[in-house]
Amino acid sequence: MHLQAAILLAVVSGSCYVLYSLIWESFISLARSVPGPKGGRLSRLWFYRKVRNGSFHHENIALHEQYGPVVRVAPGFFSISTPEKAIYGIGSNFPKSDWYQGWKHPSPDRWTLFPDQDIKRHAETRKRFQGLYSMSSLLSYESYVDDCIDIFLGKLDQFAKSGQSMDLVHWFQCYAADVIAEITYSERFGFLDNGEDVAGTMAALDKSMSYSTLVGIYPKLHPYLYAVLEKIPGSGAAGRTYLMSFVQRKIAERNVAREKGNYEPKAKELEDGLAPKDFLDKLTDAKEQDPDKVTPYHIFMMGLSNIIAGADTTAVSLSGILYYLITSPKSLAKLRREIEEHGRIDKRVTFADSQEMPYLQAVIKEALRMHSATGLPLWRVVPQGGVQIGEYWLPPGSNVGVNSWVAHYDKSIFGEDAHVFRPERWLEAKNASADKLKVMEASYMPFGLGSRTCLGRHISTLEMNKLVPEIVKKFDLALGMPKEDWKTINYWFVKPERLPVTIRPRVIQDHT
């Protein structure tokens, strides 16, 4: 009897909530005129189901094509089609929404940089550590990246000799994960050695991503779900707990070695004879110099951020770049000619070399436009006073966000052929006028926007600019599936399901 009463109460409560939402969103809310799917007026369930399907990046584009620049996707949630300076610009007072709660431990004192909703604390923390992520600082790790590139190219050779198909999505994740581990801890995970998911780290990342993406839609459930799920092996919460334990273990091992006086930084053969300190050493040194500003928690938090964000972003981007190059023979040939013209056909392309190759930069930029690593709106909370977006006024407390996929496929910005991979559009815009390029740049957001731009974007840029030229100049790659079978799953990161290729070494000649 008690069970029946509880079920009845739940049904009645749910029905009342849906009815309340419908009346509020349709007749009372000051944002009632914002268009969108009918399900989006009733509850968050419509949005949850669409996100859970793993293809919301495509759904989001279609919604804006149907309804216009501002679309309601759930009660109080509004997707916009263009980045607004007022929302994302430097000094914006639009904090991250509660959707980001799912990306941190429920305990208030266990915050991390990416989901931090405290604008002031985020700004102070970012300022404190952004020097570690500057391009000039990261260039000192170029030899670390070269080590991983050598191993990766060796694997391509092995697959070429065996004639077996190689899944680039998986191997790019191995490459990106080992690079970030080298830079952070001077020690690769070992993914590249055998192509295996060492200690289930990749699986833990995937499960953590899916959990965070979905629970963020109902953030009030997060503390309760996390407390239960972290005890269940194989769950998303357990995956995040595993990653936190891994980082804590690495820090503890380094601290013990330093205290015993038997720790020696990993030696690297560099032209200047110096071995760059890894992130962990730099953070530990900073703590010893000023323990009030750099705490043990900062060291843990920054290391965790590197591991969680560092591998998938780069792997997804590299997969997109190679997919579009393989399926665009003219662009691939043009890129190879550029590498030849720069005299790097039989020499390692340095990062400095890559910056002198305009077509390479256009290829990378266009691929990241076509396949941005993230595929959900960057939700922010409208502050007191509300905000005017186009013809609509959104009240305080509303969630508003732009999805990079929506912005990148906007025909009014990128042309009627916005759905076509065409690197030349960036070179044409640059040659046409500064204003045209400026408009395109304002809507280009593969690494986020404003003060919340991805802190580690230069790591990813370094990895991509060095690996892509080495692959295309040394190997011919043929797609091992129909072009239309390029499928993705979007749980924050828009990860391709697979990218099988067959490989043949190229016979190259330097004509310089």
- For the annotated binding site, the residues are 454
Length of the chain: 512
Q: How far apart are CA 41 and CA 139, in angstroms?
A: 49
Give the single-character DSSP code of 400: E
Q: How far apart are CA 323 and CA 485, in angstroms?
A: 11
Q: How far apart are CA 474 and CA 360, in angstroms?
A: 16
For residues 195 and 222, the answer to whether their CB atoms sit within 8 Å is: no
Q: How far apart are CA 97 and CA 94, in angstroms?
A: 9
Q: How far apart are CA 214 and CA 216, in angstroms?
A: 5
Look at phi and psi of residue 146 and say left if phi exceeds 0, alpha if psi is from -120 to 50, else beta: alpha
Q: How far apart are CA 344 and CA 47, in angstroms?
A: 49
Residue recorded with tokens 């000649």:
509
Give the residue from 215, 197, 8 showing the smallest Cα distance to 104. Answer: 215
Cβ atoms within 10 Å of 340's Cβ, excluding its own: 17
Residue type, 287: K
Cβ atoms within 10 Å of 190's Cβ, excluding its own: 15
DSSP 62-78: HHHHHH-SEEEEETTEE
Annotated binding site for heme: 454
Secondary structure (3-state) at 491: strand
Burial call 276-290: b when 16+ CB within 10 Å, e when fewer:
bbbbbbbbbebbeee
Strand partners, 374: 493
Give the residue from 376, 468, 318, 394 showing the smallest Cα distance to 33. Answer: 394
Give the residue from 207, 179, 110, 45 showing the smallest Cα distance to 464. Answer: 179
